[in-house]
Amino acid sequence: MPVKFNQYWTIEFDKHKEYEKFVIRKYIPGMNKLGVHIIAGWTVLIGGFSDIILEGISNDLELLEKALRDEKFRRLNDELQDYVRRYITKVLVSTGTVEDYSRDIEKNTVKFSQTWDVISRSKEAYKRYVTGTFYPCLEKLGIKVAREWEVLIGGGPRLLCEGRAVDIDSTALISNLQSKDFQRAKQGLKQYIENYESRILTFHIQKVLGYKSVSYDLIAG
């Protein structure tokens, strides 16, 4: 079962050029060779937390653990710290609630990320609500629910809903999230959850699929 490895950081103010060169030419290729395949990098447009999120996927937890124990990862990560601060990581696994995840993210994608904790006494009612009402509402608003993840290792709320909006700019997305339909659906969700947070993300690093190869472009910092 795929396991997500997210890394969060803020770029050192005076090291953007050196950071860009290192991440694109060395860090991402190194992570891919270790079996942690970089899907994309995101910058937080609206919301709190770190400025940058690097999203990686490994085929299973055992392979991820092997990669993170590798001396090559330690050296790469040590060098990364020269260019960033506020670095943290999270390991996430699928909850099985939504299984429509693609490792290839379309070019004109804006991500809507929501996190929360489920109130323990409400787990069954929560699952019925998100599958029957909340996630269908997101789909109607143009937000494809790629997967619901649970934080296995790391802090913060335990569940993450990964939503992707394609061919819709951030202004239109914000307008949709201000709609009565979404506000009603979110209020209903809050019967079953606590510690709700949300963020709108745009590309920081984008994977480019060529005919025979994969490359990465740094979009914004």
What is the residue whose two structure tokens read 């802090």? Answer: 155
> What would the pLDDT profile of 53-104 be if each residue is shown by its tens digit?
999 999 999 999 999 999 999 999 999 999 999 999 999 999 998 877 778 8
Res 164 pLDDT > 70: yes
Res 128 pLDDT > 90: yes
What confidence category does residue 167 fall into, taking pLDDT thresholds of 50, 70 and 90? confident
Domains of the chain, start order: 3-218 (3.30.70.100)
> What would the pLDDT profile of 199-212 be if each residue is shown by its tens digit?
999 999 999 987 77
pTM over 0.75: yes
- The span from the CA of 102 to the CA of 147, in Å, is 9
For the chain, give the percent of residues with pLDDT over 70. Answer: 100
For the chain, give the percent of residues with pLDDT over 90. Answer: 81
Mean pLDDT of 100-118: 89
For residue 39, give the nearest of 26, 55, 28, 61 by alpha carbon: 55
> What would the pLDDT profile of 192-202 be if each residue is shown by its tens digit?
999 999 999 99
DSSP 19-83: HHHHIIIIIHHHHHHTT-EEEEEEEEEESSS-SEEEEEEESSHHHHHHHHHSHHHHHHHHHHTTT
> What would the pLDDT profile of 22-45 be if each residue is shown by its tens digit?
999 999 999 999 999 999 999 999
For residue 77, give the nearest of 41, 42, 34, 40 by alpha carbon: 34
Contact at 8 Å (CB) between 200 and 112? Answer: yes
Q: What is the pLDDT of residue 194?
A: 97
